[in-house]
Amino acid sequence: MKRNALILALFLILSPVASPLARAQSSGPSPTPSPNPDDALYHAYARDTVDHDPDHAPKYSLDHEVKQDKFAKQQFIDLVTKFPVGTIKEIAHLFHELATHSHKVYNHVLNRSPELFDLFKIHEERYLPTAENGLALVNADFDFDHISDRSRGFCWGFATMNRQFAILAFFDPTAPKLDLEGNKELMDQLTDGKPVIIPGFRNIREFSLVPEHVFYLKLKAMSLWRKYAIRGKAGLAYFKTAKVMEMDEIQDLLSDLKDRLARHEFPKIMISSMIQTPGRIHFSKYVHLVLVNRVETHEDGSAIIHIWDGNFFAETQQKDPKVIEITKDGDIIYQPWIEPHTPTEAISNKLSRIMYSVENDNETIQQLMALKKFCASNPNLCGVTASKQ
């Protein structure tokens, strides 16, 4: 009984219908389908910016998106700070069970159909940051001026979106371009984990350079952040950051990452920072999501994890590769990605933990299943890989 009540409480806290805004929007019958909120926001943006000098444009009217972000953030803050310790431990256990189930499904597919993972070879070259493989937007304040207060950033949305574009986007530059509504539908499908053919463009950068596209993708990054970082997915990460990884855990993770990369995956990991205050270091609620494209291990136990960090443009990372360093003593080092919140707080360049994002395995299998179906209908786009499935 207690366990069922706890699950219900989790649902009420983390479900989008728990917020006053969502309840107001969902109350009563709706005679017509609700419009895509991102679509409505795009038109609000276009209306507010037309005939305005960009340097003196008013703050855009994005009430729905901003309110949703504020409610989502407050829900999670309440969850982390207001529950008794015993309850939080039980919640952490439930999240662990969810992650374990996802991993079991992943292992089932791996053991039964390992050849499916060859589908990830199709666009494997996109895992390395280059200008043509990178979006024309990043998880940075300057890209969200007048859109969001950016109090926590949208790294989860950017990591997810970068991975979906890398794996699931197919381009046909010889075909006529779609109109804006058609391209927005393609962006909706792609960020929902469905392979798409984008006509009239050569690559990811060219497509995302269109101003209307780049703005819509910012909205998608915000939506994906809410989907994964708030609606139940991030709890396990926050509750596990209180314990520093032991060296054997680090080595197990490195081994598993290398196995996944050998299967042509593009793993999504979360890293948690340490915060230093006068006299002590304690562990952070600050997490960051990045993608892994290469791992180097050394005989002394040290290692380098090469990553794609959505906080930086791809060409910046091509010139100055972003890496997580693991020392022979087991320290995990990466540059701070967030500013201190108080004058006495300092963000350490040490990390307490690296782990797969909770949805990584499930998302991986969804991508494989979607690619299998897509390649059966479009073998010419998938190459020889498709004929083996």
Within-domain flag for 117: no
- The Cα–Cα gap between 120 and 386 comes to 10
Instruction: Provide the token pair at 104.
Output: 């079991």
Point out the residues of the chain with pLDDT beneath 50. Answer: 1-65, 76, 79-80, 83, 85, 88, 233, 281, 283, 344, 386-387
Smallest CA-to-CA distance from 88 within 321, 249, 285, 363 is with 285
- The Cα–Cα gap between 87 and 325 comes to 35
Within-domain flag for 131: no
Range of the domain at 352: 245-359
Within-domain flag for 300: yes
Would you list the DSSP string of 151-183? Answer: SS--HHHHHHHHHHHHHHEEEETTSPPP-HHHH
Q: pTM for the complete prediction? A: 0.75
Within-domain flag for 214: no
Q: Specify the pLDDT at position 228.
A: 80
Within-domain flag for 355: yes
Smallest CA-to-CA distance from 145 within 43, 37, 49 is with 49
Within-domain flag for 275: yes
Q: Specify the pLDDT at position 149.
A: 66
Within-domain flag for 222: no
Pairing label, strands 169-172, 196-199: parallel
Tokens 């439930």, located at residue: 94
> Domain total for the chain?
1
- The Cα–Cα gap between 49 and 121 comes to 42
Q: Specify the pLDDT at position 118.
A: 96
* Per-residue CA distances from 56 to 60, 62, 141, 143 (Å): 12, 17, 18, 16
